[in-house]
Amino acid sequence: MKKSGIILALALAVLLITSCNQGKENQNPRKPDLINKQNLTLNKDLMTPEALWAFGRISDIQVSPDQSKILFGISYYDIELNKGNRELYSINSDGSEFKQLTKTPYSEFNAIWRPDGKKIGYLSSESGSIQLWEMDPDGAGKKMLTNIDNGITGFKYSPDQSMILYTKELFIKNPYDELYEGLPKATGRLNNDLMYRHWDHWVDTYSHVFYANYNEKNITEGTDIMHDEPYESPLSPFGGIEQITWTPDSKGIAYTCKKKSGLEYSKSTNSDIYLYNISTGKTQNLTKGMMGFDIGPSFSADGTKLAWESMERDGYESDKNRLFVLDLNTGEKTYYTKDFDQNVNGFSWSSNGEAIYFISPWHGTKQIYRLDLADNSIDKISEGIHNYISLSYTDAGLIAARQSMSMPTEIFIVNLQNGSSNQITRVNKDLLDQITMGKIEKRWIKTTDNKNMLTWVIYPPHFDPDKKYPALLYCQGGPQSMVSQFWSYRWNFQMMAANGYIIVAPNRRGLPGFGQEWLEQISGDYGGQNMRDYLSAIDALAKEPFIDKERLGAVGASYGGFSVFWLAGNHDKRFKAFIAHDGMFNFEAQYLETEEMWFVDWDLGGAFWEFDNKTAMRSYSNSPHKFVHKWDTPILVIHGELDYRITYTQGMSAFNAAILRGIPAEFLYFPDENHWVLTPQNGILWQRTFFNWLDTWLKE
């Protein structure tokens, strides 16, 4: 087959930061000017990899104490320098007075308002290590307040402004130090227990929580509230300062911790919420006996109640995420979402403590809900084809971050009663105005067991129903994360559509937002009903006159990568091309190569040597490597060496198997990327390779 070259970028966003304009009409700190750098003939309004990497990425939204201003960060990436930088910005809650507060090469983060609103605290590595800095609300008067050995990783002011808490990495003592004496160049790592590496790093440190007296001149080393315990808070690799908080009276610190180590840590998800008393130095476990993940403590304003997110079962990382509230006066714990068959994420108390607002995935979107504590009623207050990804309560409305498949994150204010919204920021307006997005359609498709499955269909820009298009089946990762209205900087559906493909993205079995039964069906059934769901989706769409059923591909990462490997041996010649990124290929090897043993124990059902374990035996019998003899379709395999969750040898083995079987294959290997692709030039190479492969096998 003749190889058709990748559609190279017509548009390259200029990555020079310009002075920012005031008001809501033009909030771009730099104006993306799309230029024809490659001098190619191509419609100028199509998404390209370079344009995708030019979008500003809003994160960490913080409302001022008087609720009049919003503080947030925007990250931009420079393709030529192959790195990004994050600056701090503010805007009035009504969308006026957009202002850039920092302009340095140090990526300021963890920016929050001081309780009196007169200063903004933030973290920066400007001094050589990450330290706490402060500045005036207009960005003037920047000053470093801490000089703590090895730096800090997060912080919060106490409500009365007398103290701060901060997190810091402590080195784990090596029990084999004496063996290394006189060997300064030795690189060998000696281990005697599990969890010696995690996701993308070797575990040489753990994070502890400290508190120190606050003053505006100099903050000295604080007190370790975890003493000499060999445990971590917050939880790695994804937990942050949101897992730790002050009591409203500034007399205590609540923190999330899983007080386990080694093999015990790797097999358990049982974290708890602990309350440390500043005056006595004593610690109380507030969630003792609750066996799953308990994270994200948050106090009501009056300090009488504590809310947190909780999972029930130890070892199940995708269990129902429940909302619990503890009455600190009576000790009574109330499970407020017992009759709510959905997950709870990212909640915020009302100022009077009578309601909690939260985000929950449902039917392919993430919407805002309100819990009234008085009568335990839950109401959905937002609608629309979008995802809310964070929210903060103000008396005037919820300050929320929102995104969709057609729009990166922007800030909105949402009405507390009816969910109507007004957009506050327009950071990416100039770039979005130059790009035509494809239409997004929601379809409900019947599965093989006669269930209704929501499937997103994304059409190419300027779609012509009289033409026939190649189509891609998108296989979701997780495995238990909903195919929602997410905006991705790698698996971007609009990017795929801009390259002339129709995308079929089913919410197959094993995803949240469709009830707990739908979510849990996948555990112990890899290669089962969820694979039939994939095929139901692509078979239904392949009947459309505008889809060429002879030009179908399947793509996916993580669990989606496994799905592609499995489909490669079980697709009955439906597909003409596959792409698998960071996928599991050999389950037996995966069980012994991964580090979070709770995941494989739960989802695969146990170890491959447990021959009397029917669930485990069914799982291992569905390992993709057992179907390689039926592989007959070109496959591109992508993997990063720093992916310790699913090691790169899984991808290498799949590629080698394809070559040995005489199947056209390519292996894109990143020695410096983890489970994701995070640097600009690697990201663009990923996109170019992705579409070069698809165009080779699916374009006429």
| pLDDT of res. 38 | 34
Q: How far apart are CA 213 and CA 162, in angstroms?
A: 6
CB 507 within 8 A of CB 586: no
Instruction: Tell me the average pLDDT across 232-243.
Output: 96
pLDDT at 16 over 50: no
Q: How far apart are CA 198 and CA 266, in angstroms?
A: 10
Q: List domains and CATH numbers for the chain.
A: 440-698 (3.40.50.1820)
- Residue 353, exposed/middle/buried by CB under 10 A (0-12, 13-18, 19+)? middle
pLDDT at 677 over 50: yes
pLDDT, one tens digit per residue, over 253-309 is: 999 999 999 999 999 999 999 999 999 999 999 999 999 999 999 999 999 999 999
CB 525 within 8 A of CB 516: no
pLDDT, one tens digit per residue, over 84-104 is: 999 999 999 999 999 999 999
Task: Pick the range with the lowest mean pLDDT from 34-38, 322-326, 403-407, 599-603.
Answer: 34-38
pLDDT at 350 over 90: yes
pLDDT at 356 over 50: yes
Are β-strands 355-362 and 365-372 bridged in parallel, bridged antiparallel, or unpaired? antiparallel
Q: Which residues does 128 contact at the CB level (< 8 Å), separation at least 6? A: none
Q: How far apart are CA 687 and CA 679, in angstroms?
A: 12
Angle between helices 559-568 and 529-542 (to 10 degrees): 70
**Helix runs in 429-483, H state only:** 429-432
Instruction: Tell me the average pLDDT across 640-645.
Output: 98
CB 276 within 8 A of CB 261: no
Q: Please compute, for residue 105, the number of CA atoms within 13 A of its CA located in the half-sphere on the CB side.
A: 4
pLDDT, one tens digit per residue, over 317-338 is: 999 999 999 999 999 999 999 9
| pLDDT of res. 564 | 98
pLDDT at 11 over 60: no
pLDDT at 15 over 60: no
CB 472 within 8 A of CB 501: yes
| pLDDT of res. 44 | 76
| pLDDT of res. 327 | 98
Instruction: Tell me the average pLDDT across 538-554.
Output: 98
The two three-digit tokens of residue 45, written as one number? 């309004």
| pLDDT of res. 24 | 41
The two three-digit tokens of residue 643, written as one number? 């992916």
| pLDDT of res. 9 | 32
pLDDT at 190 over 60: yes
How far is the CA of 209 from the CAs of 102, 110, 154, 298, in angstroms? 28, 15, 9, 17
Q: How far apart are CA 180 and CA 684, in angstroms?
A: 42
Place 26 in a pLDDT band, splitting at 50, 70 and 90.
Answer: low
pLDDT at 591 over 90: yes
| pLDDT of res. 543 | 98
Instruction: Tell me the average pLDDT across 560-584.
Output: 98
What percentage of the chain carries pLDDT values higher than 70? 94
Q: How far apart are CA 4 and CA 695, in angstroms?
A: 6
CB 485 within 8 A of CB 388: no
Query: Three-class SS of residue 113?
Result: strand
Residues paired with 85 in a beta bridge: 76
Instruction: Tell me the average pLDDT across 165-193.
Output: 96
| pLDDT of res. 28 | 60
Instruction: Tell me the average pLDDT across 161-187.
Output: 96
* Catalytic residue numbers, as ranges: 558, 643, 675
CB 319 within 8 A of CB 271: no
Instruction: Tell me the average pLDDT across 636-640.
Output: 98
First to last CA, the chain: 9
Query: Three-class SS of residue 654?
Result: helix
Place 12 in a pLDDT band, splitting at 50, 70 and 90.
Answer: very low
pLDDT, one tens digit per residue, over 469-495 is: 999 999 999 999 999 999 999 999 999
| pLDDT of res. 22 | 35
pLDDT at 6 over 50: no
Place 41 in a pLDDT band, splitting at 50, 70 and 90.
Answer: very low
CB 616 within 8 A of CB 606: yes
Place 14 in a pLDDT band, splitting at 50, 70 and 90.
Answer: very low
Instruction: Tell me the average pLDDT across 126-133.
Output: 97
Output the average pLDDT for the chain.
94
Tell me which residue has tokens 């084809």.
385
